[in-house]
Amino acid sequence: MSDPLVLALDTGSPQLSVALGRGGEIVAHRVHQGRHAGELLLQLIDEMLHEVSVDRRELGGILALHGPGSFTGLRIGLATSLALAQALRIPATALPTLRVLASTVETSATETVLAAVDALRGEWFVQPFAGGVAVADAERRPLDSLTALAPAHLVGFGIRHAFEDLQPVGFQFSEPPPLAVAALRLQHRHPLAKPWDSTLLTTPLYLRAPNIRLPSPKQGEVR
């Protein structure tokens, strides 16, 4: 029996990407950069499927990245993935964005790869990996504090540009490829030990509370 066709989505990164793979081979992919990318998600998926003459009903699974990343982008991608999986009655699951980022860098088993996602306001979400395995939890840190984590290989969208003024010592930098493609390759190299879990599509990894506050109650008002 041939390997199933898997659709992968990354909607939380500055570069939106969708990819189609089978057994480690990338069959097709699409990339979009710019605002309102989420509005084009289904269009990009359909264009890609049409390119290789594949119907949605031929898909055997859906793989999404669930953060950290753009609040709105993650919600769009995860909701779309869950809706497609339920409509097509196929398995779906999600992978952490930082783990997928780290997988795009080839190093020795002892070298540290520091995966980074822009958290805005001068901060970054970062997590160190060695040999493809996380060696510490993800955390949010100011950019200038990352210099204390050298030596390491830093990978993330825009991370090299962010460090231009700091000129740190002990870092190598990589701009990642489309993460939907990277997720398919990671899943092929390291298949999930457990069955795919679609509930992960309902639990985005924001690593930061939403930037909203409820209004303070007026004097005498009970909540």
Position 39 scores a pLDDT of: 76
pLDDT digits 0-9 by tens, 31-65 = 998 766 667 899 999 999 999 999 999 999 999 99
Q: Does the domain made of 5-97+178-202 have the CATH classification 3.30.420.40? A: yes
Task: Give the mean pLDDT of 108-134.
Answer: 94
For residue 102, which of 146, 138, 147 has the smallest C-alpha distance?
A: 138
Residue ranges with strand state E in 69-192: 92-95, 112-120, 123-130, 133-134, 139-142, 152-155, 171-174
Task: Give the mean pLDDT of 67-96.
Answer: 95
Position 215 scores a pLDDT of: 54
Domains of the chain: which residue ranges?
A: 5-97+178-202, 105-174
Check pLDDT > 90 for residue 214. Answer: no
CATH of domain 105-174: 3.30.420.40
5-97+178-202 matches 105-174 in fold: yes
Q: Residue 219 pairs with which residues in a beta bridge? A: none
Position 1 scores a pLDDT of: 54
pLDDT averaged over every residue in the chain: 90
Check pLDDT > 90 for residue 15. Answer: yes
